[in-house]
Amino acid sequence: MSDDAPAPADNAGYDEWLDALADGEGYALVCPDGHGSLPPRRVCPECGAAALAEEPLAETGSVETHSVVHVAGPRFADDTPYANAIVDFGPVRLTGVLRGVEPGTDAVAIGDRVAVGVEERDTDGEPLVAFRPTDGK
């Protein structure tokens, strides 16, 4: 991307969610049938229910899968190599970068517990969903 690329658009719903996650107040949207989703949503993507309640995310989640990215786009050029993970927080799974470990296929194991927060991309300082290992494995 060139230096004079337009500023990213605001993303109402997502931006508030990321701010809440950064403040330790991350949440999932949950419908009356218990389906979880992430904002912005008007209806539950599984069943169409319009009554969506904000439920706080658990303190830690369980790693479901992970990878180590060596070739990235320009927005992550200075972050490589980095580990990605999908982590189960109950009603929703989150996708983020794994920090606090050496990136490698054995940096983390499926089932490990990690905490979630918001950290900065090395490349440009933009906010990023990030996981860190917790002691209570």
Partner 1 sequence: MTDVRVAGVGLTRFGSHPDRTGRDLFATAALRAFEDAGVPREDVEELNYGNFMGALAEHQGHQAPLMAEAAGVNCPATRYEEACASAGVAVREAVRTVRAGEADVALAGGMERMTNLPTDEVTEGLAIAADDLFEVRAGVTFPGAYALMATAYFDAYGGSREDLAHVAAKNHANAVPNEYAQYREEVSVEEALEAPPVAEPLHLYDACPITDGASALVIVSEEYAAENDVDAPVAVTGTGQGTDRMALADRDHLARTPAADDAADAAYADAGIGPDEVDVAEVHDCFTIAEVLALESLGLFEPGEGIGAAHDGITTADGDLPVNLSGGLKAKGHPVGATGGSQIAELTRLLRGDHPNSEHVADAEVGVAHNAGGTVASAVVHVLEVAE
Site residues, partner 1 (CB under 8 A): 1, 11, 14, 37-38, 45, 64-77, 79, 82, 84, 86, 92-97, 104-105, 110, 121, 126, 128-129
17 token code pair = 């969610």
Rounded least distance, CB 47 to partner 1, Å: 13
Which entry of Zn ion, partner 1, none binds 50, CB below 5 to 8 A by partner kind? none
Between the two ends of the chain, the Cα-to-Cα distance in Å is 40
Q: Which is nearer to Zn ion, 44 or 57 (CB)?
A: 44
Cβ proximity to partner 1: between 12 and 51 the closer is 12
Torsions phi, psi for 17 (to 5 deg)? -65, -45
Residue of 48, 8, 2, 57 lying closest to 28 (CA atoms): 57
CB of 1 to partner 1, least distance (A): 8
- Which residues make beta-bridge pairs with 119? 128
Coil, strand or helix at 77: coil
Q: Considering CB distances under 5 to 8 angstroms, the limit depending on partner class, which of Zn ion, partner 1, none binds residue 33?
A: Zn ion
Smallest distance, partner 1 to C-beta of residue 54, A: 17
What's the rounded Cα separation, in Å, for the pair 17 and 129? 11
Which of the choices partner 1, Zn ion, none does residue 47 contact, using the CB cut-off of 5 to 8 A by kind?
Zn ion
DSSP 8-class letter at 8: P
Q: 74: which 2 tokens?
A: 């320009």
Q: Minimum distance between the CB of residue 54 and Zn ion, rounded to whole angstroms?
A: 15
